[in-house]
Amino acid sequence: MVTIKDIAQKAGVSVSTASRALNHNPRISEKTRQRIATIAKELGYQPNYNAQNLTRGESNMVGIIFPVTSDTAPANPFHIDLLRGISMALKPIHYEMVVAIAPTTADLLQSVKSMVEQSKVHNFLVLYTVKDDPITNYLRQNNLNFVVIGHPDKAQDRFVDNDNVAAGQAATDYLMDHQEVSHPVFLQSASNWAFEQDRHQGYEQSMQNHQLPALSWRYSPTGPAVKDFIKQHPQIDSIVCVDDLLLVRLIRQLQEFNLPTICFNNSRLMGMLINQEEKVDLQPRKLGQLAVELLFNPEEQYRIVDFKINS
């Protein structure tokens, strides 16, 4: 097994210099770092990343914090694609993912605390935003490194996101321009996440620009069914759905109307379940990849990822 001592001996430098060079210490010249890296590769040196990180008092893991989710809730395909992008970006820098997911905020907070206190996880990606969230409050109070994927609750939070207002407007414009409709209804979930509010704002802006009245329906287990709502508003001739997870939930009720529909997210799973031609692709893999890049680049505050309309 090749050690740093072997590399130092062949390079003719001290062990401490070889160690600093392999850890990209700026005190060591770029020329020396490259030479020692070449020698390490020739000798087949395999660094122990766990040991290196534990020496610095942290693990080589990134905590992925999911929104509070009930045990019976379906998996969100958008999150699956996000994780693929995150995993791709973590692999070259020798970090692994560890997931925090729980049915209550209290349980989720305890899970995150355990990551920090027991597993020495100091870097986090938060897959949701909630106003006055105890989880992100805890991360801030403890000066932990984190990036939010979504619209941040606090201005100082670093984030990666789509421009969901622009996406909501573009989706509505596209539907009216390509389907020759004039009264699309906006369907949103009961959760009223920040991204839903932004997309709804974009929808309303499009309707205002077209000098048309906006009309929205929000899912509720105890509220009126979407099919009844559409029957009560016969002017509805098309649908803008806030995401594909909601569309799957409602698809049986909507099929009888056969209305032109545009939906956010472009997951493969949804493509297999729904013959849906028009989708807003939010590029979740790219969101995940850029979130990792931002996490380890403290000089940057945010990244915005383009969306694409697939037809």
Beta bridge partners of 264: 280
pLDDT of residue 275: 63
For residue 309, which of 282, 284, 288, 290 has the smallest C-alpha distance? 282
Q: Where in the chain is the domain with CATH 3.40.50.2300?
A: 61-161+285-303, 164-283
CATH 3.30.1330.10 fits 61-161+285-303, yes or no: no
Whole-Å CA distances, 84 to 37, 127, 291, 305, 307: 29, 13, 12, 16, 18
pLDDT, the chain, mean: 90
Whole-Å CA distances, 199 to 72, 80, 151, 204: 27, 21, 11, 9
185-234: per-residue pLDDT in tens? 999 999 889 999 999 999 999 999 999 999 999 998 888 899 999 999 99
Sign of the dihedral through C-alpha 120, 123, 126, 132: positive
Q: Please tell me the CATH superfamily of domain 4-47, with its number.
A: lambda repressor-like DNA-binding domains (1.10.260.40)
Residues 6+ apart with CB under 8 A from 150: 126, 127, 128, 129, 159, 161, 193, 194, 195
Q: What is the CATH number of domain 164-283?
A: 3.40.50.2300
Give this prediction's pTM: 0.81
* Whether pLDDT at 55 is above 60: no
Q: How far apart are CA 67 and CA 281, in angstroms?
A: 21
